[in-house]
Amino acid sequence: MKRIKVGITGPPGSGKTTLAKFFQECGAQVISLDDIGREITLKKLEEVGKALGVDVSDQPYEIQRKLIGKRAFQDPQNLRKLGEIVHPELCEEALRRLRNAEGDLIVLEGALLFELGLNEHVDKVITVTAPEKLLLRRFLEKSGYDEKAFRVILSYQWPQEWKGLSSDFVVNNTGDLDSLRERASQILGKLKQDP
């Protein structure tokens, strides 16, 4: 298999991170936009707190992160402000990690792959989708945020149908983990045959 870079994207609750983990189990190096975003937010905590009107001083980082998340995900304007601070450096760092990644299969995983133009820097794109009710249920179970936060986050992203039309593979993740793992295996097989 020749070296290939794959982007994995999808809305909150779609299972894109789980799919990326399955690829990682098969030897892929995974670069997570969420992880990079958290690192940059931590580095720019005071600037982010000030922009969102949140006092983050004298609090443990996990509490600061929750305060910022709560404020950002309750208002599209706040989410935009957070993006203006974090996204330029996030893109730079993601591209640096892509350049320096080792191995035959590199996965760049994140919800904003298309929105940030990072799809242009990978060879193939996989969009993970699911019906909105299922997305919402998974999001509420996993995130600790409410439905309003889900709606605000969705409003900041391209519709999953658009992403699907611009992707090489679409994974409709409505089944269990075994189904998702099987789909990952099928896609990996296709990538090995015809990258």
**Residue 14, annotated ligand binder?**
yes
* Residue that has been written with the tokens 């793992």 in this structure: 181
Burial class (CB in 10 A: 0-12, 13-18, 19+), 58: exposed
Question: Quick one: tokens of 10?
Answer: 């999808």
Say how far apart CA 151 and CA 19 lie, in whole Å: 23
CA dist., res. 31 & res. 34, Å (int): 9
- Annotated ligand binding at 16? The verdict is yes
179 belongs to an annotated ligand binding site:
no
Residue 81 φ/ψ region, left for φ over 0, alpha for ψ in the -120 to 50 degree band, beta for the rest: alpha
Q: H/E element holding 126? A: strand 124-129
CB count in 10 Å sphere of residue 102: 7
Q: Is there a binding annotation on residue 18?
A: yes
CB 180 within 8 A of CB 173: yes
At 95, which amino acid appears? L
Binding-site sequence positions for ATP: 13-18
Binding-site sequence positions: 13-18
